[in-house]
Structure 1
Amino acid sequence: MLTVGDTFPEFQLQATVSNDLNTAFVDLNNKSYPGKWLCVFFYPKDFTFVCPTEITAFGALNAQFNDRDCQILTGSIDSEFVHLAWRRDHKDLGTLPFPMLADIKRELTSALGILDKATGVAKRATFLVDPEGIIRFVDVTDMSVGRNPQEVLRVLDALQTDELCPCNWKQGESTLKAA
Structure 2
Amino acid sequence: MENRILGLGSQFPIFEKTAVVSLEKGKEFATISNKDYQDAGLWTVMFWWPKDFTFVCPTEIAEFNKHAEDFKDRDAALIGASTDSEFVHLAWRNNHDDLRGLTFPMLADTSKSLAAELGILEANEKIAYRATFIADPQGVIRWVSVNDLSVGRNVKEVLRVLDALQTDELCPCNWEKGQATIKA
TM score, norm. by length of structure 2: 0.95
- Provide the rounded CA distance (Å) in 2 between the counterparts of 1:47 and 1:21: 22
- In structure 2, the partner of 1:11 is 15
- Find the partner of 1:127 among 111, 126, 133: 133
SS in 1 for 2:99: coil
1:30 Cα deviation after fit: 1.6
Identity of aligned residues (%): 56
Q: Does 1:56 align with 2:62?
A: yes
Distance 1:60 1:86 in 2: 18
Paired residues, what number? 178
Match in the other structure for 1:116: 122
What residue is the counterpart of 1:166 in the other structure? 172
Root mean square deviation, CA, Å: 0.6
Residues in 2 aligned to 1:77 and 1:109: alpha-carbon distance in whole angstroms: 8
Secondary structure, in 3 states, of the residue corresponding to 2:160?
A: helix
1:79 equivalent to 2:97? Answer no
User: Which ranges of structure 2 fall in alignment gaps of 5 or more residues?
Assistant: none
Poorly superposed stretches of 4+, deviation over 2 Å:
none
Unaligned runs of 5+ in 1: none
Find the aligned partners of 1:65 and 1:11 in 2 and give their Cα distance.
Answer: 21
**Whole-angstrom CA distance in 2 between matches of 1:132 and 1:11:** 14
Q: TM-score, normalised by structure 1?
A: 0.98
Cα deviations by residue, 1:42-94 (Å, 9 ceiling, x for unpaired): 00010000000000000000001100000100110001010000000000000
Which structure shows the higher helix fraction? 2
Write the mapping of 1:37-52 to structure 2, written as runs, cut at 5 A: 37-52=43-58
Query: Among 18, 21, 24, which residue is 1:20 paired with?
Result: 24
**Which amino acid counterpart does residue 20 of structure 2 have in structure 1?**
T
Deviation at 1:31, TM superposition (A): 1.1
- For the residue of structure 2 that corresponds to 1:92, the secondary structure is helix
Work out which of the residue numbers 133, 140, 143 in structure 1 matches 2:146: 140
| Cα offset, 1:32, TM superposition | 2.0
